[in-house]
Amino acid sequence: MNAQELLQLADDELVLGWRNSEWTGIAPFLEEDVAFSSIAQTEIGHARAWYELAAKELGTDADALAFDRAPEEYLCAPLVEMRMVDDWARTIARHWLYETADCIRIQVLLNSIDREIAGLAEKIDREEAYHRMHAEMWAERLHDEPRFREAVDELWPYALGLLPEEQRPLFCQAFERDEGAAVERGDHTESLLPLWEEMTMVRRSVPGASW
Amino acid sequence: MNEAEFAAYVQNGGQIEAGDAMPEDYRKALVKFIEMHGNSELMGVLPEREWILRAPTLQRKLALTSKVQDEVGHAQLIYRVVEDLGKPREACLDDLVAGKTKFHNVFHYPTKTWGDVGVIAWLVDAAAIISQKALLKCSYAPYARIMKKICWEESFHILHGRDVILTMMNGTDEQRELVQEALNRWWGPLMQFHGNPIAAQDDPMYRWRIKSQANEEARQQFLDGYVPQIWELGLTVPDPKLEQGKDGVWSYSEPDWDELKWVVTGHGPETERRLGFRQASRDETAWVRRAVLADAA
Amino acid sequence: MIWEVFRQEREGQPFQHGGSLEAPNLVFAEAYAREFYGRRDESFALWIVPRESVEEVRDPYVADVFDRDYRRVDGYSLKVKLKEARERAGTSPAG
């Protein structure tokens, strides 16, 4: 796996973690607020771990990779860029789809010939078990909610686009759904630029400073 | 026990549990006090959560998310205590957004820079912890018990705050200026935070041993602990009258008690916007609570 | 639904009440209990119980009107008898 592939993973986790932390303080109820915030934190922690691996190869550091690139240099998928607060149905739909996709790609990484990658994938997989449990819990609870099902339908093509083509059949199997067309990585959505501006505003205010 | 006997019982260190008989005035005073605390934890989240998104390093992003998460958790613990005293959480939230109940002055003010993030975690949390430590001795045992967990979690927040400040103070001139400027804005609200001095015998919260520390005592403790920390970094406190007497007592310019009253009665610079924001989020997620919590009641 | 959470601080220690939370069922209650009482690795194990399953007994009175000093350590006074027994056996301690 090369640095670009590592950055893709890291960018997905960072941007999704960023989007999920938009719910901190305003989740539907307090107990869930605390739980969902942990999930956001874990995602950012995983992003950090992938950035650190990529940083070694690229001769820089994790924060520089996370914050000092131009928006067009990010390799995240459109699925994670979308702003979904205050829509809990869409948020959980994305959470459920993403965790399942992430699980599939992590399983592949567990078998990586690169021991560092395999080792990191194993650690991440352990933590992701809780995320999957949480997503399943909510998917089951909202199963009969029309707005949840609509959100899953809407986000399905984006979720497909998260994974490389060879991993998509397994993903479809998990949901017992036909594949259909995917929204591929490549072009960023218009949500990314405002996100990047807010995410980097403090850092850009005093370039090169320690915080 | 009649009311006088009850007052004597709690003043002597007697503890009350959720199921115990208690005078109606005691129960009302408890609900009012504890509810305001819950409201404050919940409203305190709003000025800080924006900065999670803007945190300039991954570590700061994680630390700030964790801090805010703790505060939401504290709100949960506190509202559960209020609910067990007879007022459901949704009723508390209804009254909060309607402006019928209060929350601490500091959470009515805007945050403008990353300097605020440091100052809030370092000094505002410190002021809050002083009050919270005193509540460990509250006569109402369920509340005293959650204060233990709250105080433990708050100790991490102060460390985070101090780390943020020290890093900036060791950084560039611009960063040092951010800290000083934030301190200049927050000093007034900080000095008002513990409330105007009231004689213990006039304060029902003492009679019932809900509070066990005088407002002025808390303020003096804050100044004792934190003015030296501020000065040793080369920062200035925007109060020319601030000084410590030979007897150890701090003297300072009289805080603006009118401002305090005006702010906590719902007229702070950010009050309306934040309450509106809270209500809007509640409205958008009401269906979730119905789907998840209501039918299980 | 309200759930009570008991936590074991370290292996082998008694479970102590940690707090309560609201959740629609055990799956949610477990997720939240883990968060509230385990996210800082501060609990070795948790018990999660619906509040309605907890029976509280205030003032656990059994009987205390008649003297029952046979149930208490200070209900036994052995000094005098021990002294007498040692003297009989000639094994009184020196001094």
pLDDT of B86-125, one tens digit each? 999 999 999 999 999 999 999 999 999 999 999 999 999 9
What domains does chain A contain, in order, with CATH numbers? 3-205 (1.20.1260.10)
| Percent of chain B scoring above 90 in pLDDT | 91
CA distance B244 to B247: 8
Dihedral class, residue A28 (left if φ above 0, else alpha if ψ from -120 to 50, else beta)? alpha
Query: B93-101, long-range: CB within 8 Å, 24+ apart, which pairs?
Result: B93/B278, B93/B282, B95/B35, B96/B39, B96/B42, B96/B43, B96/B275, B96/B278, B97/B275, B97/B276, B97/B278, B97/B279, B97/B282, B99/B266, B99/B271, B99/B275, B101/B32, B101/B35, B101/B36, B101/B39
Q: Which residue of C has its CA nearest to A138?
A: C28
Q: Token pair for residue A8?
A: 């893709």
Average pLDDT, chain B: 95
Give pLDDT, residue B181: 98
Residues of B in contact with A44 (CB under 8 A): 58, 61-62, 65
Q: Token pair for residue C53?
A: 């399953």
The residue with greater pLDDT, B200 or B229, is B229
For residue B180, which of B195, B167, B169, B192 has the smallest C-alpha distance?
Answer: B169
CA distance C32 to C21: 8
pLDDT band at C94 (very low <50, low <70, confident <90, very high): low
Give pLDDT, residue A61: 97
Give pLDDT, residue A18: 97
B46: helix, coil or strand?
helix
pLDDT band at B297 (very low <50, low <70, confident <90, very high): very low
pLDDT band at C65 (very low <50, low <70, confident <90, very high): confident
| Percent of chain B scoring above 70 in pLDDT | 99
C15: helix, coil or strand?
strand
Is any Cβ of chain C less than 8 angstroms from the Cβ of B76?
Answer: yes
Nearest chain C Cα distance for residue A152, angstroms: 22
C-interface mutation test, from A24, A29, A30, A31, most C Cβ less than 10 A away: A31
Give backbone dihedrals phi and psi of B66, rounded to 5 degrees, phi first: -65, -40
Q: Using one digit for the tens of pLDDT, what is the confidence trace for B154-199?
A: 999 999 999 999 999 999 999 999 999 999 999 999 999 999 988 7
Q: Which residue of B has its CA nearest to A14?
A: B58
ipTM given for this complex = 0.96
Give backbone dihedrals phi and psi of C3, rounded to 5 degrees, phi first: -120, 140
The CATH number given to whatever domain includes residue B275 is: 1.20.1260.10
CB contact under 8 A, B80 and C20: yes
C5: helix, coil or strand?
strand
H-assigned helices in C1-95: 26-38, 79-89
Residues of B in contact with C40 (CB under 8 A): 153
User: What residue numbers bound the domain in which B206 lies?
Assistant: 3-296
Give pLDDT, residue C70: 82
Q: Is the pLDDT of residue C76 over 90?
A: no
CA distance C31 to A39: 12
The residue with greater pLDDT, C69 or A137, is A137
User: What is the rounded average pLDDT of the residues B26-43?
Assistant: 96
Cα separation values, A96 from A67, B5, C49, Å: 27, 58, 28
Dihedral class, residue B248 (left if φ above 0, else alpha if ψ from -120 to 50, else beta)? left
| Percent of chain C scoring above 90 in pLDDT | 61
Cα separation values, A113 from A101, A107, B10, C19, Å: 21, 13, 68, 46
Q: Say which range, B45-49, B81-85, C63-67, has the weakest mean pLDDT.
A: C63-67
Q: Using one digit for the tens of pLDDT, what is the confidence trace for A53-73?
A: 999 999 999 999 999 999 999
Task: Say which DSSP state B160 is in.
Answer: H
For C2-53, CATH number?
A: 3.10.20.520
Q: Is the pLDDT of residue C67 over 80?
A: no
B-interface mutation test, from A202, A203, A204, A205, most B Cβ less than 10 A away: A202
Is the whole-model pTM more than 0.90? yes
User: What is the rounded average pLDDT of the residues C26-53?
Assistant: 95
Nearest chain A Cα distance for residue B179, angstroms: 12
Q: Using one digit for the tens of pLDDT, what is the confidence trace for A168-200?
A: 999 999 999 999 999 999 999 999 999 999 999
